Amino acid sequence: MSRRAWRWLIPLSALPVLALLAYGFRVNPREIPSPLVGRPAPGFALTTFDGAPLTLEAQRGKVVVVNFWASWCYPACYEEAPVLERSWRAYRDRGVVVVGVDIQDKAEAAQKFIRDFALSFPNAPDPTGKVSVDFGTYGVPETFFIDRRGRIRAKHVGALTDEVLRTRVEPLLGEPAG
Amino acid sequence: MIPELGYGAAIVALVLALWGAVTAALGARTGRPALLLSAQHAALAVFVLVTACFALLTYAFLTFDFSVRYVATNTNLGTPFYYRITGVWGALEGSIILWTWMLGLYTLIVILRHREGARELYPWVLTVMLGVLAFFLLVITVAAPPFARQAPVPADGRGLNPLLEDTGMITHPVALYLGFTGLTVPFAFAMAALITGRVGDAWITLTRRWTIIAWYFLSLGLLIGGWWSYHVLGWGGYWAWDPVENAAFMPWLTATAFLHSVMIQERRRMLKLWNISLVILTFSLTLFGTFLTRSGVIASVHAFTQGTIGAFFLSFLALVLLTALGLLAVRWDALHAQGELDSIVSRESAFLLNNVLFVAATFTVFFGTVFPLLSEAARGVKVSVGAPFFNQVNVPLFLALIFLMGVGPLIAWRRASFDNLRRNFLWPVLVGVAAAAFFFSLGVRSAIAVLVLALTVFVASTITVDFARASRARVRLGEPLLPAMGGLLRRHNRRYGGFGVHLGILIIAVGVTGSQAWSVQTETTLRRGEYAELAGYRVRFEDLTASEESNHFKVAGAFTVSNGRGLGVLRPAKKFYPQETSPIAYVDYRLGLREDIYLVLGDFARDGSQATVKFQVNRLVSWIWIGGLVLTAGAVLAILPEKKKAA
Amino acid sequence: MRVRLAPVATLFLAVLLIGAARGAPAPARTVSEAEVHEIAGGLRCVVCQNLSVADSPSEMARQMRAIVRERLEAGESPTEVVQYFVDRYGEWILLSPRRSGFTLLVWLAPLVAVALGLAIVGVLVWKWTRRPASTEAARRVDPAMRERIRRETEAEP
């Protein structure tokens, strides 16, 4: 009996491999968690399209929403632009700053985008891509939520909705600045 | 109406394939010829119906029937005629139809060729072939129906993936699928051998040529894929160790191992168990490849869409593996035989070593490909396993294989005497060592490059020595030299065909080594009239032109190339397709035996005053394509029917 | 087959020499194209699927190559530059997994495969060569001698 039984291990040996492949259905290869969540946000010093200096340092004590976008990113960036503008208006008096970083873009196209959506929050180009790499972005749109102490608390990939923005920002507002 | 006809044809074909599989099996059990005849008719009908499906889908493409979702996503009113036909197999659903059609074709050829010859095995071969066909028809009817309608009907389609608008992409899948589906035949014979218990050498002899044909198409598919990658994708390379490339490469590795180990069984009646295992492995790997390409489990450039289809393929893979390995376990006693070897220094040993290396390379590629999944399952961390890893771990294995390529064909069967070794290898070894010294003195300092070149010279010398000696023997018998050589090739076509394939592989190896070791590149932004210099070439930016093409907008730069004297103008471009968010690079190049000049257009100023260009001088890449032609010649020679030995 | 590499090799050397002689505006140190290519070749392009930062024609990859160059010029070691990217993108960005910890497994796999294969074939070859050798040795004994042995052993009892 035992002399014959072991040979059934041959077909059984395929099972772990098949199980691993089946496990593959549960994961999304395009979804990579950011190692930056929970760590201090990388500082940046940009110049907005209006010519004003824009640094992360200057926002210390506020909740900062950093949004990476581009004018060629259709439709996701076009969907979320009104959401960002709405939230900025709703939250600006409660200590929230929305910052737009335009990457891999042409200045004229980006400025047209800002005009079209009447964006009033600070927006700056990142011509060298340094800020986007500092934040470990993969593409656009991606949004980072930074708490009052300057740490990245969450990252959102894809178009934002009012719902996502509120659930991310509200808890951070409740935290002390110290 | 047309799409419904196609859908109906697929359903009927599915039913008939199942019917045929069952009747063939019953025919085998009962021995009633009528059942077998019915199965054959079913196979014929399946082929006709799949052909009809294919034709109807093509018709839908040609007539822009955008009510069919598959047509609408893969063509638009601007798609040129030519690509409307090839677009049929440009994405998931159509590619499965092409696959099924080829499988049907192979089934017919099997019927025509083996109906009379292999009485015991044949019915079961038919069952397996029709069973596999039934699976693919199930995919067509349920998981990925190409004829699915959509409403509302869009005014225009989305358009074919622009990267697929290329002749390479038309022929690459055709060759690759001919290889993949062709490997079903040896698998079906192996299964028939296991089911009937006739695990002797009959199935090996019958499938020998089938395996070579499938192997050749697989090689061709891989090479065309490399060419497509090189001249379309614009990254200057031909092989990225992408999961999908790996998926096609693994069955090639195991099929190659099988082609060699089969010779031991033919000659010495050993390794029955091993050969059947290799065939099962090879076929399972082709299924694994389709699973990988179509499930979206592992991210890849070539990946088709995601969906339920992955589960279909995984289930079928599980069914095949468990059944085949289960049968293997059942027939263990018949398969497991004590081998006999006379000496460690023999061709048998060389082939065994060859098999170890091929299977080790397969395992390495497989493990590397699924390792990201394992890492995530085991510790939740995403990792990548890419080209630098695969290159590093595979190079030693491939070097050893090239060495064996020189040893295997010339070392004696059973026991190589010292005299045999001296006679066959003394000169090649000396020439190889001399070559190493020669290349070193030329300034080649990369150890791998020196090794590859020296090994290549060594192997080429063994082939020359063998061929020269055999020709001389014939000349001594009074034949003139050229007819003697021709007669040799024809008479021993398998042997010399094999040598031809080996030569092709060697030339490819030199091309790969050269391009890895000596290619150079630079990337600069040039204003009009400025030039960049690299490796003795000067590339001058002349101007930028924009043009409206039938289905896209094209911005092309003009760059004059010279190396002292003018070499013409290259026009790399960027193509803007309305359906794509980012532009598609269009590479321009000047191919040469020694080096290619390869230009990729980067960013540019709207007014055409400046442009960024990636300027590469890629060494010896053409050798890869030339090697492919030599390999083809060798394979064709090997496939020719064996000439009856005249007494 | 004749491999004519002389011109190629000389060209290659010439390029190296030209590359070395043509100094950039020299910040902290000069960085060659090859150095950047070496590091970028090990980083996965984040917007493509399986191309390296060195090979990808994308804008993002071009910017990343510029960042690699800049950090090298600023005096960072190649290891530090790579670590900069790993800190931001995770181990995922390394095309060649680290040879430590869990990812060492993938590096050991080929070694284990070859070792195991060689061991199995070694044992089989050892077993298979022993059998025929013994029968052959028996066969090789001179028939007259065998006859004598038979007679003598039969005569024993």
| Three-state helix/strand/coil letters over chain C | CCCCCHHHHHHHHHHHHHHHHCCCCCCCCCCCHHHHHHHHCCEECCCCCCCECCCCCCHHHHHHHHHHHHHHHCCCCHHHHHHHHHHHHCHHHECCCCCCHHHHHHHHHHHHHHHHHHHHHHHHHHHHHHHHHHHHHHHHCCHHHHHHHHHHHHHCC
Tokens, residue B487: 């007669």
The whole-angstrom separation of Cα B629 and Cα B220 is 9
Residue C134 contacts B where some CB pair is shorter than 8 Å: no
B261 found inside a domain? no
B342 or A13: which leads in pLDDT? A13
The whole-angstrom separation of Cα A22 and Cα B300 is 18
pLDDT score for B302: 45
Over 50: is that where the pLDDT of B57 sits?
yes
Mean pLDDT of B268-277: 89
> Which chain C residues are Cβ-neighbours of B361 within 8 angstroms?
110
Over 90: is that where the pLDDT of B189 sits?
yes
In which region does residue B608 sit, left (phi positive, over 0), alpha (psi from -120 to 50) or beta (all else)? left
- Write down the pTM of the prediction: 0.90
B482 found inside a domain? no
Neighbours of chain B (3+ CB pairs under 8 A): A, C
Among chain C residues, CA nearest to B519: C12
Are the Cβ atoms of B341 and C48 closer than 8 angstroms?
no
3-state secondary structure of A66: strand
- Out of A65-69, A136-140, B449-453, B539-543, pick the least confident: A136-140
pLDDT in tens, A84-139: 999 999 999 999 999 999 998 888 899 999 999 999 999 999 999 999 999 999 88
Among chain A residues, CA nearest to C45: A138
pLDDT score for C141: 53
Residue C102 contacts A where some CB pair is shorter than 8 Å: no
Are the Cβ atoms of C96 and B344 closer than 8 angstroms?
no
| CA distance between the termini of chain B | 63
Over 70: is that where the pLDDT of A153 sits?
yes
pLDDT score for C28: 64
CB crowding A76-98: b at 16 or more within 10 Å, else e: bbbebbebbbebbeebeeebbbb
Q: How confident is the model at residue B597 (pLDDT cuts 50, 70, 90)?
A: very high
Give the sign of the dihedral formed by CA B526, CA B530, CA B533, CA B536.
positive
Are the Cβ atoms of C63 and A133 closer than 8 angstroms?
yes
Over 70: is that where the pLDDT of B627 sits?
yes
pLDDT score for B301: 46
Are the Cβ atoms of C5 and B603 closer than 8 angstroms?
no
Return the DSSP state at B36.
Answer: H
Residue A158 contacts C where some CB pair is shorter than 8 Å: no
B281 found inside a domain? no
Q: Are B595 and C8 in contact (CB under 8 A)?
A: yes
B383 found inside a domain? no
Q: What domain range includes position B530?
A: 521-623
pLDDT score for C15: 39
Q: Are B263 and B254 in contact (CB under 8 A)?
A: no
Q: How many residues does chain A have?
A: 178
pLDDT score for B314: 92
Q: What is the mean pLDDT of chain B?
A: 90
Relative to beta strand A63-69, strand A96-103 is: parallel
Are the Cβ atoms of A104 and C63 closer than 8 angstroms?
yes
Q: Which of residues 13-52 of B touch C (CB under 8 A)?
A: none
In degrees, rounded to 5, the angle at the alpha carbon of residue C140 between the alpha carbons of residues C137 and C142 is: 130
Residue C83 contacts A where some CB pair is shorter than 8 Å: no
Contacts of A1 (CB under 8 A, 6+ apart): none
Q: Is the peptide bond before C143 cis (omega within 30 degrees of 0)?
A: no
The whole-angstrom separation of Cα C119 and Cα C90 is 38
Are the Cβ atoms of C91 and B382 closer than 8 angstroms?
yes
B601 found inside a domain? yes
> Which chain C residues are Cβ-neighbours of A37 within 8 angstroms?
none
Among chain C residues, CA nearest to A41: C88
What is the maximal distance between C-alpha atoms in chain B? Answer: 82
3-state secondary structure of B114: helix
pLDDT score for C13: 39
pLDDT score for C143: 59
Cα B363 to chain centroid distance, Å, stands at 18
C6-96 under CATH 1.10.8.640, yes or no: yes
Q: Which of residues 525-554 of B touch C (CB under 8 A)?
A: 534-536
Q: Where are the domains of chain C?
A: 6-96, 104-155
3-state secondary structure of B80: coil
Count of other CB atoms within 10 angstroms of residue B490: 13
Over 60: is that where the pLDDT of C91 sits?
yes
> Which chain A residues are Cβ-neighbours of C65 within 8 angstroms?
none
Are the Cβ atoms of A22 and B382 closer than 8 angstroms?
no
pLDDT in tens, C31-54: 888 899 999 999 999 887 788 999
Mean pLDDT of C67-94: 94
CB pairs under 8 A between B and C: 192
Residue B363 contacts A where some CB pair is shorter than 8 Å: no
| CA distance between the termini of chain C | 72
Which residue is it, tokens 């196209």?
A109
Choose, out of A3, A7, A8, A30, the residue to mutate when testing the contact with B (most B CBs < 10 Å). A7
Give me the residues paired with residue A157 across strands.
A142
Over 70: is that where the pLDDT of C26 sits?
no
Dihedral, B239, B240, B244, B250 alpha carbons, nearest 10: 60
Which domains are seen in chain A, by residue range? 36-173 (3.40.30.10)
Q: How far is CA B545 from CA B48, B556, B571, C63, C147, in A?
A: 50, 5, 10, 25, 98
B74 found inside a domain? yes
In degrees, rounded to 5, the angle at the alpha carbon of residue B271 between the alpha carbons of residues B270 and B277 is: 155
Q: Are B430 and B401 in contact (CB under 8 A)?
A: no
A130 closest CA partner among C63, C53, C61, C46: C63
Mean pLDDT of B526-548: 93
Q: How confident is the model at residue A172 (pLDDT cuts 50, 70, 90)?
A: very high
Where among B143, B159, B175 does a domain terminate? B159
Are the Cβ atoms of A32 and C60 closer than 8 angstroms?
no
Are the Cβ atoms of B521 and C129 closer than 8 angstroms?
no
Q: How confident is the model at residue B306 (pLDDT cuts 50, 70, 90)?
A: low
pLDDT in tens, B106-145: 999 999 998 887 778 999 999 999 999 999 999 999 988 8
The whole-angstrom separation of Cα C93 and Cα A37 is 17
B44 found inside a domain? yes
B519 closest CA partner among B587, B627, B614: B614
The whole-angstrom separation of Cα B399 and Cα B513 is 11
Contacts of B58 (CB under 8 A, 6+ apart): B85, B88
- Out of B6-10, B578-582, C145-149, pick the least confident: C145-149
Q: How far is CA B378 from CA A22, A36, B375, in A?
A: 14, 22, 5
pLDDT score for C11: 41
Q: How many domains does one find in chain B? A: 2
